[in-house]
Copies of this chain bind each other. A is one copy, B any other.
Amino acid sequence: MVGLPARGKSLISGKAMRYLAWVGIPARVFNVGTYRRQDTPHPNAAFFDPANKEGEKARRAAAEAAVSDMLRWFKEKNGTVAILDATNSTKARRRWIYETCKNAGIDTLFVESVCDNEEIIMHNILEVKTTSPDYVGLDPEVAAQDFRNRIRNYEKVYETIDEDEKQYTYVKLINVSSTVIINQIKDYLSSRLVYYLQNLHIKPRSIWLSRHGESEFNLTGKIGGDSNLSPRGEAYARALPALLKQSGIPKNAKITIWTSTLKRTIQTARHLAAETGYEKLEWKALDELDSGVCDSLTYEQIAERYPEDFAARDEDKYNYRYRGGESYRDVVIRLEPIIMELERSENVIIVTHQAVLRCIYAYFLNLPQDQSPWMQVPLHTLMKLTPRAYGTEEQRYKANIPAVSTWRAKGTSAKHQEYPAGLK
């Protein structure tokens, strides 16, 4: 990362790491501030003055410690993408990083966040003064003033990436991607990552997730298929507009409705679309995980007819691919364009299926691959996700309409299993 303080570097680092983890690429953030805090937990602005020799020495030592840990991580843990979250604000510093990585056989991609929009900077400063461990226990106004002085100290020596650094692979995100400059991208992974970064925005918004209402197949415990809603599922479809309202819609918010191409999600969103006039989109990529030869069977039938497959799926549910069908890993791959479009979009309500919802949820909540396929997503429940600077907030709203449970614990084949106690 490259950029002055309060330019969203940590936010971008965190999102990039979450995205990479989600597509299965081992990634880790190395935050130089964390290393610096080991020796200097509460520095004031003077510590960052380029004329302060001792401060500079301490900051350089922190950078070296972070880079050295990073190289060790690449070597010992087979890391793929390390994100060095720091200002790296001079050409000399970037050359040092570039050379050090090159000598270790590691490619460098500089991601510079440039921002001259006062509103965004002020918003970030407010964020920092209340959340940074550097300012714990300090009067927020004093913290904000000190942080502004810190930024000024960085500005004294800051050099943006320019013509002299043409030989580097880099991307400059200017005012949260309203302008993007991309230089010398060579490989597939960088190209995907840069495309992801150029889609990011920081406008406040929420994303709502719902499964379809209870379907005829749910009643009989069959998986897959393309059945209609049950009467209770239809009641959920009718209740959805009020449930969405209850969850809190920002004033004048424009919401877009996304469904899969299967009848049960389209039927579930039908009344919501009719009552609100919201724009509606059907995505094939939101269709349920394809269960191949097991489509339209119950778990009991699968356990009986394909006992080995059933056991293999329990063993590694994320990677298990149904014969002639898909794995969770496959679903994540086809959901990637959905995630890209979600990042570009503002308010969206997605009505989709259990496995697909788990995958989308895992992206936003950073759920590991061995947990996401077992996550409990009851029917007739609306989830509201609101991205914040350091994570995603989640709220759940239950419609008061009974439905069968479609959750199955590891090692069982129950048709309608109760959710464990404690689940809302």
Q: Which residues of A contact B (CB under 8 A)?
A: 166, 178-185, 188, 191, 195, 198-199, 224-226, 284-285, 290, 295, 324, 330, 333-334, 336-337, 341, 344
Contact of A180 among B181, B224, B226, B324 (CB under 8 A): B181
> Are A344 and B182 touching (Cβ within 8 A)?
no
> Are B181 and A179 touching (Cβ within 8 A)?
yes
Given known A180-B182, A181-B181, A295-B324, contact A344–B195 (CB-CB < 8 A): no
Given known A284-B333, A333-B284, contact A344–B179 (CB-CB < 8 A): no
* CB of A183 to closest CB in B, whole Å: 5
> Are B199 and A191 touching (Cβ within 8 A)?
yes
> Are B341 and A188 touching (Cβ within 8 A)?
yes
- 16 more A-B contacts (CB under 8 A) besides A180-B181, A284-B333? A178-B183, A179-B184, A180-B180, A180-B182, A182-B198, A185-B198, A188-B341, A188-B344, A191-B198, A191-B344, A224-B324, A225-B324, A226-B324, A285-B333, A295-B324, A337-B337
**A336 CA / B166 CA spacing, docked (Å):** 30
**A191 cross-chain contacts in B, Cβ below 8 A:** 198-199, 344
> Are A179 and B179 touching (Cβ within 8 A)?
no
**24 A-B residue pairings within 8 Å (CB atoms):** A166-B179, A178-B183, A178-B184, A179-B181, A179-B183, A179-B184, A180-B180, A180-B182, A180-B183, A181-B181, A181-B182, A182-B182, A185-B198, A191-B198, A191-B199, A191-B344, A224-B324, A225-B324, A226-B324, A284-B330, A290-B290, A334-B334, A336-B337, A337-B337
- Most chain B Cβ neighbours within 10 Å, of A191, A226, A285: A191
**A344 cross-chain contacts in B, Cβ below 8 A:** 188, 191
* CB of A229 to closest CB in B, whole Å: 19
**A84 CA / B284 CA spacing, docked (Å):** 33
**A195 cross-chain contacts in B, Cβ below 8 A:** 195
**A45 CA / B1 CA spacing, docked (Å):** 49
* CB of A283 to closest CB in B, whole Å: 9
**A188 cross-chain contacts in B, Cβ below 8 A:** 341, 344
* CB of A339 to closest CB in B, whole Å: 13
**A226 CA / B292 CA spacing, docked (Å):** 12
> Are B178 and A179 touching (Cβ within 8 A)?
no
Given known A295-B324, A344-B191, contact A182–B184 (CB-CB < 8 A): no
**A337 CA / B338 CA spacing, docked (Å):** 13
Chain B residue at minimum C-beta to C-beta distance from A284: B330
**A224 cross-chain contacts in B, Cβ below 8 A:** 324
- Most chain B Cβ neighbours within 10 Å, of A182, A224, A285, A295: A182
**A330 cross-chain contacts in B, Cβ below 8 A:** 284
**A184 cross-chain contacts in B, Cβ below 8 A:** 178-179
**A184 CA / B178 CA spacing, docked (Å):** 5
**A397 CA / B226 CA spacing, docked (Å):** 43
* CB of A341 to closest CB in B, whole Å: 6
**A184 CA / B225 CA spacing, docked (Å):** 42
Chain B residue at minimum C-beta to C-beta distance from A341: B188
* CB of A110 to closest CB in B, whole Å: 13
**A334 cross-chain contacts in B, Cβ below 8 A:** 334
* CB of A316 to closest CB in B, whole Å: 17
* CB of A25 to closest CB in B, whole Å: 15
**A184 CA / B177 CA spacing, docked (Å):** 8
> Are B179 and A182 touching (Cβ within 8 A)?
yes
Chain B residue at minimum C-beta to C-beta distance from A345: B188
**A92 CA / B166 CA spacing, docked (Å):** 31
